[in-house]
Amino acid sequence: MESSAKARGTGIARRSPEYIAEKMEQGKAVIALTNNGEWVGFCYIETWSHGEYVANSGLIVAPSYRKSGVAKAIKQKIFNLSREKYPDAKIFGLTTGLAVMKINSELGYEPVTYSELTQDPAFWEGCKSCVNYETLMSKDRQNCFCTAMLYDPKDHYKPEETKEFFEKNKSGFERLLRFKQWKLFKKKDANANGVGVSNSKPKSFLFHFFN
């Protein structure tokens, strides 16, 4: 899982084999296999803030089975399992990929600000293994390369509505992800070169969104 995340230029919370095995023993994981027993994919459930929040973590699909609908099937299974085990919990995720945003939207997730996610320090501690951790902390955990998405069982739109919203705004989300990466990388480079950021110009809406 970790090597796959590094290949994408992102990160994933590093977990020990014992931790993963415990999730499977507790029935808090989805394992995808072929009829011949070949491993295809995996995902597991984590709870935060005393069960108020749930994250479907560690989603991974074997390279030969990617772009075949496996990730979507696993996400649906782990989402259903989360709703069954924690019916009142808010389910959230962080992603840098448009494909995962699409899958989440089809499940009823909505894009949200980081302030709407769990503030449990243990969750954010897991981000230390991400290559973008320094950026996250420089933003006081209020913004980073990832897009935050949330499903609130007590206040949510129908999956058909969130799916339709994503499809209508897909190109906008794609541009936003690219702009966000450009903006954050630009600031990183400026800080690395000792270049100060001028505040003389009026602050636009985008300034408040990304700062």
Q: What is the pLDDT of residue 149?
A: 95
Q: What is the pLDDT of residue 184?
A: 56
Q: What is the pLDDT of residue 157?
A: 86
Q: What is the pLDDT of residue 204?
A: 40
The DSSP secondary structure of 132-157, one letter per residue, reads: THHHHHHTTTS--SSEEEEE-TTS--
The DSSP secondary structure of the chain, one letter per residue, reads: -HHHHHHTT-------HHHHHHHHHTT-EEEEE-TT--EEEEEEEEEETTTTEEEEEEEEE-GGGTTTTHHHHHHHHHHHHHHHH-TTSEEEEEES-HHHHHHHHHHT-EEE-GGGS---HHHHHGGGGSTTHHHHHHTTTS--SSEEEEE-TTS---HHHHHHHHHHHHHHHHHHHHHHHHHHHHHHHHHHTTPPPP--SPP-HHHHHH-
- List, in order of start, the domains of the chain with CATH numbers: 2-194 (3.40.630.30)
Phi, psi of 45 (to 5 degrees): -100, 135
Positions in the chain whose pLDDT score sits under 50: 1, 5-10, 197-211
Q: What is the pLDDT of residue 7?
A: 45
Q: What is the pLDDT of residue 131?
A: 80
Q: Please tell me the distance from the alpha carbon of residue 160 to that of residue 50, in angstroms, as a whole number.
A: 30
Phi, psi of 183 (to 5 degrees): -65, -45
Q: Which of 118, 116, 92, 100 is nearest to 5 (CA)?
A: 100
Is 144 exposed, middle or buried (CB count within 10 Å of its CB: 0-12, 13-18, 19+)? buried
This prediction has a pTM of 0.76
Q: What is the pLDDT of residue 135?
A: 84
Q: What is the pLDDT of residue 114?
A: 94
